[in-house]
Amino acid sequence: MSAPDHAALHTLYSEHNGWLKNWLRARLGNASDAADLAQDTFIRVLTARNVHAIREPRSYLGAIAHALMVDKFRRKALEQAYLAELATRPERLADSPETRLLILETLVAVDTLLDGLGERTRQIFLAVQLEGLNYVTTAERMGVSVTTVKKHLIRAMTHCLLLTDD
Amino acid sequence: MAQPLDYRTLEAAATWYVQLNAKQPNEAQLQAWQDWLGKNQAHAQAWARVEKLQRQLGNLPADVALPTLAGVRARRRAVLKTLAMLMAVGATGWAVRESTPGQAMMAELRTGKGERRQVRLSDGSQLELNTDSAVDIHFDGEYRQVHLHRGEIMVQTASDPAARPFEVQTAEGRVRALGTRFSVRSDDGRSQVSVLQHAVEIRPVDNPLLMLRLDAGQSAHFDHQRISPAHTAAPGSGAWTQGMLTVIEWRLADFVSELRRYRPGVLRCAGDVADLRLSGAFRIDDTDTILENLSASLPVKVRYLTRYWVSIEPA
C-alpha cells in the first residue's frame, strides 16, 4: 500500500468510523457486533485498494456495511437451518467440526451464488447438481420439458460462472 | 495472464457442460468439445471455472445441503411428514409406532443414493436400509410384514408377544424369519438372502410349494420360480451396515457396478480395465475417496468430466 493510500484510509477511518459504528448499532441493536462489522467494513475498503476513488464516503461505507450485515444474517440463517438438519440425521453427528465448518462455508458460498436466480431456476439447478437427478426426472418433477430444464441449467450455470473467481 | 471473461464465453462453457452432462457423450461430441477448449485461452479459462464450481459443489453432502438450501418451509414440511410416521429414539435411530394401540401400522421408508437409515419397529425389531432402497411396513393383528420394493435391508427381529410371523416380501417371493438376523437384497428380478443368526425360510412367489431353509452363515438367491442351492455367505456380506464394502478378488467392472448403487450419476468402467481384480475394505460413505485411491492400487486413471460423469480408464 502506498503512503498516500495509507493517509487517505487513515482520514476515512478517523472521520467516519464513529458515524459507521452508530449507523450499525442502530440497525443491529448491539454495540459489540456493530464494532466488529465496522472493523470488517474498513478491512474491505483496505483490500479493495480504491480509497482515492471514493467520492461519497458515507454512502460507500454504508453500502459495504449493509452487504456485510446481509452476509451475516444469511450466514446465521443458514447455520441454523444446517444445524436443524443435522439434528434429524444422527449419522451425520460424527462429522468433525472441521468438516462441518467447510460444509457451512460452502453452503454460504453456494447460497450467495444462487441468490440472483429465480425460484424455478434454483430448484432445477439444485435437483441436477446436488441431488444428482437426470434431466428427464427433473423435467417430470418440475412439470416442464427437458429443453426447459436445460435452458434453466445454462442460465444458472452461467450466473454461477460469472461470480466464480479464476 | 488471466483475462476477464465475457458473458458469451461463460455461457458457451455452461452450455457445453449442460450438453455433456445430459447423457453419455459420443466421440464426436467429445471431439467438438475438445476443439472448442483448444480454440482459445479464454475457453480453457472458462472451463476451469466450471471445474472449480463442480469441486465446490462436490464438498456438499447432498442429504444435508439440499434441505438446508431448499429453505425453512420445505424442511419443516419434510420433518413433519417423517414425524407423522416415525418417532425419534435418541441419537441412534428412529422408532415406528402405532398412532393408537391395536391399529394397523403402515409406514413407507426410503433412502436415496449413498444414504443409510436405521429404524426400530413397533415390536422392537430393527430394520436397516442400505443405499437407494424402498420398503413399506405393514403390521396388523396377524402379521408383521416388510415389503422390500428395491434395494437392501438388514433385519434383526424381536420376539413378538402375539407370536405374529415376521416376513420380508420382495417381487420374487417371501422370506420368513425364524427369530433371527438376516439381510435381503432385491434388484433386477433377483432376491439375495444372507443369514447371520438362526434361520429363515424362502418361498418363491410363483412356486409356493418350494421352500428352502437357510441357516446362519448361509446365503442363497431366488427368482419368482426357483431358489439356488444354499451356499456359504460371502465374508463381509453384512458389512454395509457398518458403512463398509468388503471385496475379495472382484472384477473391477463388478466393483464399479456395486459402487453405482451408492453414487448418483454416471460411473463408467472402460472395457480394457473391466477384468482387473481388486480386494479390500472400502468406506462406502465416501465413494469420491474410493475413486481417488483406485489409481494407487490399479493401473487405471479416473477422469471426471463432470461431478456426476466419471469414467475409469487405462492409465
Q: What is the pLDDT of residues B274-298, one digit of tens each?
A: 999 988 888 888 888 899 888 888 9
Q: How confident is the model at residue B67 (pLDDT cuts 50, 70, 90)?
A: confident
Q: Which pLDDT tens digit goes with each residue over B84-131?
A: 333 333 223 333 333 333 334 556 788 888 888 888 887 888 899 999
Please tell me which residue, B6 or B70, carries the higher pLDDT value: B6
Fold of B86-232: Jelly Rolls (2.60.120)
The phi, psi pair for A12, rounded to 5°, reads -55, -45
Q: How confident is the model at residue B169 (pLDDT cuts 50, 70, 90)?
A: very high
Beta bridge partners of B168: B146, B175
As a whole number, the mean pLDDT across chain B is 82
Beta bridge partners of B187: B190
Q: What does the DSSP 8-state code read for residue A106?
A: H
Q: What is the pLDDT of residue B2?
A: 55
ipTM for this model: 0.70
Residues of B in contact with A161 (CB under 8 A): 5, 10, 13-14, 46, 49-50, 53
Which of B262, B301, B304, B268 has the alpha carbon at shortest distance from B282? B262
The phi, psi pair for B51, rounded to 5°, reads -65, -40
The phi, psi pair for B231, rounded to 5°, reads -135, 170
The phi, psi pair for B206, rounded to 5°, reads -100, 10
Share of chain A above pLDDT 70, in %: 93
Please tell me which residue, B89 or A144, carries the higher pLDDT value: A144
Classify burial at B55, counting beta carbons within 10 Å of its beta carbon; exposed 0-12, middle 13-18, buried 19 or more. Answer: exposed
Q: What is the pLDDT of residue A105?
A: 82
Q: What does the DSSP 8-state code read for residue B6?
A: P
Q: How confident is the model at residue B26 (pLDDT cuts 50, 70, 90)?
A: confident
Q: For residue B3, what are the CA distances in angstroms to A20, A80, B14, B41, B46? A: 36, 39, 18, 9, 10
Is residue B228 within 8 A of residue B99, CB to CB? The reply is no
B44 near A CB under 8 A: no
End-to-end CA distance of chain A: 24
Q: What is the pLDDT of residue A93?
A: 67
Residues 171-230 of B with CB under 8 A from A: none
Which of B140, B136, B128 has the alpha carbon at shortest distance from B164? B140
How far apart are alpha carbons A82 and A145 in whole angstroms?
32
Residue in B5, B51, B69 to test binding to A, most A beta-carbons within 10 Å: B69
B70 near A CB under 8 A: yes
Mean pLDDT, range A61-88, rounded to an integer: 79
The phi, psi pair for B201, rounded to 5°, reads -120, 135
B110 near A CB under 8 A: no
pLDDT at A141 over 80: yes
CA of residue A148 relative to chain centroid, distance: 28
Is residue B16 within 8 A of residue A153, CB to CB? The reply is no
Please work out, in degrees rounded to the nearest 5, the angle formed at the alpha carbon of residue B242 by the alpha carbons of B168 and B151.
35
Residues 6+ apart with CB under 8 A from A118: none
Residue found under cell 410384514: B145
| B243-314 has the same fold as B86-232 | no
CB–CB contact B18 A78 (8 Å):
no
B24 → chain A, closest CA residue: A134
Orientation angle between helical segments A135-142 and A119-129, nearest 10 degrees: 140
Hey, where are the domains in chain B? 86-232, 243-314
Q: For residue B246, what are the CA distances in angstroms to B234, B235, B283? A: 9, 8, 9
Identify the architecture of domain B243-314 in CATH.
3-Layer(bab) Sandwich (3.55)
